[in-house]
Structure 1
Amino acid sequence: MQTTIVSAEWLHDHINDPDLIILDASQNANVSGLVPPYEGKYIPNARFFDLKNVFSDQKSLLPNTVPSPEAFEEGARSLGISNTSKVVVYDNLGIYFSPRVRFLFKVMGHHHVAVLNGGLPAWIESGYETALNLVPHISEEGDFRASFNKEILMNAEEIYKNISSQDHIVIDVRSAERFSGEIPEPRKGIRSGHIPKSYNLPFKKLLKEGKYKSKEALKDEFTKAGINDDTPYVFSCGSGLTACIAMLASELVNDNPVKVYDGSWTEWGQSEYPVEK
């Protein structure tokens, strides 16, 4: 199995593999205002991965932050996931929530995870069978054990020091209008603008009709954004979610080490750290 993305055809051919677990990461709402083209349909045998209420730090004042290894272990085990499991994750927007799930597994040391390119829409439009419900009950609990990998996370203090050191290229995947401060942030109390010396590569430029663009087109988008050297990348967005879309895109076409600033603009924009417009 690829550990980046898989096609609907691949998943259809392997859907009955005994060690394969399919996760549906769809959520009821998103700050990008995207609307799922299909409601009430699911890939057969898919299990619900609850990003908001289980697989985010419930004690954090910031949205979507990485949970503790213990909380992740408990949630993964309840879904029947073990360290030997191969995981394919999708969402009903095509590519939106699913890369975040893959990133969380990487943080927890599990690398046998891939995103379904095009998500549920690609599955349906390929003519494959759907189910009316997700798996309601997991009969056999998994024994997943996390191996926390903090090396792919950065915090606000590290991002602030990086303004001077430039050890990493900070890539902000919010829209150009939000990056430049031309429009207000969707979350109240958050300043407009961007982290000094960061680059803007809106995540929507990496996608076409709910799928990742070709590798050639992805490389071109990084180049057009002025990002074309071998410096490690750290991705940021509004809340650490869509940053993972661009992180996965980079893994498809670049060899640069990649990280995510988990607090992202929700944290930076309400802090005392400097802002550019």
Structure 2
Amino acid sequence: MLISVADLAKEIKNQNLIILDARSFKEYSQGHIPGAINLDLFAYHWFDTTPQGIITFNEQTKKILSFVGVTLQNKVVFYDDVSGMLAARGVWMLMYFSHQNVWMLDGGIKKWQSDGHLLETKTNGFEPKNFDGKPNPQIIADYDYVKQNLGKSILIDARSKEEFIGDVIRGARRGHIPGAINVDYTLNISEDGTIKDDAQLSKLYQIPKNSQIITYCQGAYRAANSFLALKKLGFENVKVYLGSWGEWSNRTELPVE
């Protein structure tokens, strides 16, 4: 799921490659990897994981990916500033739609520049196509699944400590989902912007390898980064709770700590 700066640089002319800059258009316009298309993923939030909400998420995501010309035949690389939450969210979204050839640029544009590669500022066009990936329910969780698996799954809360303990409130209620473990997603990332190595990550996630894990944050961006870190470590049964705290805290019938 991770592609190095050196390997991307070798493939930059590949006609089958789509590079997606997941940052804001302002950041993109100030300089981006040559050939990259801007797809500001932070503009999209899905806080309804009822059955109809998931159907809506599937339909809207397919439209977004179709619009920027992604197909199941393309090699797709997402990046942001570092190996961060926006690129990770893009990778998770394509993995959810059973795309077999999707990557996050390890270290993001920070590493690209520090390794001596050039940027461009022109806006790159794109040709809409028909993206028709098949949803993979094995890597997504809705609120009901989380509720039914409290005490059975290990919940990883990828938010800051302040959000976790309730000092920072970003919803109808403060706190976290009962039983959750707080591992701030920024701890997954090294100083140079790359994802930490397995030895370092293992110290953060001292969990049995056969565990059933659900990651969440506020809107399933940071949780996607934790998902990738856990998959890198070899955990197989990992899901991202799409609605995350943005949904859970506002469904007042659900329990909180």
What is the TM-score of this pair, normalised by structure 2?
A: 0.89
Return the match for 1:163 from 150, 160, 170: 150
- Could you say which residue in structure 2 is the equivalent of 1:25? 22
- Could you say which residue in structure 2 is the equivalent of 1:184? 168
Task: Report the count of equivalent residues.
Answer: 251
Q: Which runs of 5+ in 1 are unaligned?
A: 30-35
- Could you say which residue in structure 2 is the equivalent of 1:117? 106
Deviations along 1:129-187, one digit per CA (max 9) or x if unpaired, are 1101331x22x4333212122231111121111124x0x21111112232122x122x3
Where do residues 9-48 of structure 1 align in structure 2 (5 Å cutoff)?
Answer: 9-27=6-24, 40-48=30-38
Where do residues 1-277 of structure 1 align in structure 2 (5 Å cutoff)?
Answer: 4-27=1-24, 40-53=30-43, 56=45, 68-135=57-124, 137-138=125-126, 140-164=127-151, 166=152, 168-181=153-166, 183-185=167-169, 187=170, 189-209=171-191, 210-223=193-206, 227-272=207-252, 273-276=254-257
SS of the aligned residue for 1:97 comes to: helix
Task: Judge conservation of contact 2:37–2:123 (CA < 8 Å) in 1.
Answer: yes
Deviations along 1:190-227, one digit per CA (max 9) or x if unpaired, are 3221111111111111111222111110111112xxx2
C-alpha separation in 2, matches of 1:161 and 1:143: 36
What is the TM-score of this pair, normalised by structure 1?
A: 0.83
Structure 1 runs of 4+ with >3 Å offset: 65-70
**Aligned Cα RMSD in Å?**
2.4
C-alpha separation in 2, matches of 1:71 and 1:173: 25
Aligned AA (2:162): E
SS of the aligned residue for 1:98 comes to: helix
Aligned AA (1:172): D
Task: Judge conservation of contact 1:94–1:122 (CA < 8 Å) in 2.
Answer: no
Residues 1:56 and 1:133: Cα distance change in structure 2 (over 3 Å) = farther
Task: Judge conservation of contact 2:48–2:243 (CA < 8 Å) in 1.
Answer: no
C-alpha separation in 1, matches of 2:155 and 2:89: 18
Aligned AA (1:208): S
Could you tell me the percent identity over the aligned residues?
Answer: 29
Structure (1/2) with the larger helix percentage: 2
